[in-house]
Structure 1
Amino acid sequence: MLKKYGAGDQCYVISFNDEIDGRYLKLEEAIEKAVGSGFPSLISCIPDKLAYVEGEQIDGPPERYIIYKQ
């Protein structure tokens, strides 16, 4: 869905997961390591326009959002 909104191959990640925090990664790798990890993460695909946010997993699946600004 991020690709549909114009995401490229690279993204920047802010996360409580030290393995991916503060790094530029391929989008697929960032999603793979962030989704379901239990750590809150923000994946910036297009600065000030497109991002994926996953909340902390406490009980059940975490909240997940795509932030898109036209």
Structure 2
Amino acid sequence: MTSNTLASKLAALLDAGFTYKAIAERANCDSSTIFRIRSGAVTNPSYSVGSAIDVMYASLNRKPKRTAA
């Protein structure tokens, strides 16, 4: 997982309405860390932070199941 990929995932999360604070709380880090990943200042974030961003991004892109009417 590259920081560029994480930055684009963060951009999608922010566009979807998440705040830096909300993402940081779920990733168990400071909001400044999320900002620095997004801006490219942090190029190698911890595994736990990267994984949390991946999980949030995956849930954002998960399509709801349709039920038969």
Tell me the TM-score normalized by structure 2: 0.34
Higher relative contact order (CA 8 A, sep 6+): 2
* Higher relative helix content: 2
Tell me the TM-score normalized by structure 1: 0.34
Task: Tell me which structure has the larger Cα radius of gyration.
Answer: 2
* Higher relative strand content: 1
